[in-house]
Homo-oligomer: A and B are copies of this chain.
Amino acid sequence: MRPLTAIPTRADIEATHEAIEPLIHRTPVLTCSAIDERAGASLFFKCENFQKVGAFKMRGASNAAVRLSEAERRKGLATHSSGNHAQAVALSAKMLGVPAYIVMPENAPAAKRAATEAYGAQITSCENTLAARESTLQKVVDRTGATFIHPYNDYNVIAGQATCAKELLEDVEGLDMLTAPVGGGGLMSGTVLSARYFAPGVKVYGAEPEAVDDAYRSLQSGQLQSNTTIDTIADGLRTNLGEKTFDILQRELDGIFLVSEAEILQAMRLIWERMKIIIEPSCAVPLAAILKHPEVFAGKRVGVILTGGNVDLDRLPF
């Protein structure tokens, strides 16, 4: 098995799933009659908040890691991130017994830094600009020979994230639709590929905060757009699509729904209160879209990917 250099095929995703199975949890699918009643639909929540490192990111990072050769792997894994992807790369490296080098902005929350260090990663601090992050990472890679794992614009990462929808489609029969949030588009691309390969009749919709609607505008205009603000509570969705993820979504996605900050918060609270599980604000975006658009979702069996559960309990929005 070697790194993927083109859009993952059905066989690529199947091989990926087999390869990463020892490194990930097969997360449960939960239902909630109170939320179904509110939505007028049957919702099946794929709980990646219970995934290792608390987010689906473990799937993509571990796939990128296992596809490296022994020699490449021994030099280590590298990335720049202050979020779930950093922890996913760090834990993948730890499980494979190789070094991880993580570039983090100086202002990253102490808790996230500590969690990443707890997985044994070596952390290099830099200024909080994209330029500083990229140049610092380049120096680390030059010095160590480690392999950079991009958080989403990478076919290995996309194939890894695709295993989440694959499991959901295996565990729930007769789904009409799948929904997921759109940030950089890695999860969304993997989701739509798995639906096309493993359940061709299933419609796939993305959901995005109005405040960071780059994917919506990119699909509307046919040109890759970027966000001008990052002013959303859904902090996992502030990134822009990459060229690879845009390409896949442009071909395959059935649509993207936009939701307001108030709608996100309301959906997040509904999940916390009725399902008794902890999800990140980003996770609530698809449910917000489902509640906003009964004309699309009512009466349907809908798979909803809950992407992660890493929230700062000292800064809850309630």
Contact = CB atoms under 8 A, between A and B. Distances in A.
Contacts of A49: 276
Contacts of A309: 276
Interface in A43-75: 49-50, 54
Contacts of A28: 28
A309 B316 CA distance: 17
A164 to B, nearest CB: 16
A1 interface: no
Contacts of A54: 276
B318 A318 contact: no
- One complex includes copies of this chain to the number of 2
Contacts of A313: 269, 272-273, 316, 318
A18 interface: no
A89 interface: no
Nearest to A28: B28
Interface in A269-308: 269, 272-273, 276-279
Nearest to A314: B318
A276 B50 contact: yes
Contacts of A269: 313
20 contacts: A28-B28, A49-B276, A50-B276, A54-B276, A269-B313, A272-B278, A272-B313, A273-B313, A276-B277, A276-B278, A276-B279, A276-B309, A277-B277, A277-B278, A278-B278, A313-B316, A313-B318, A314-B318, A316-B316, A316-B318
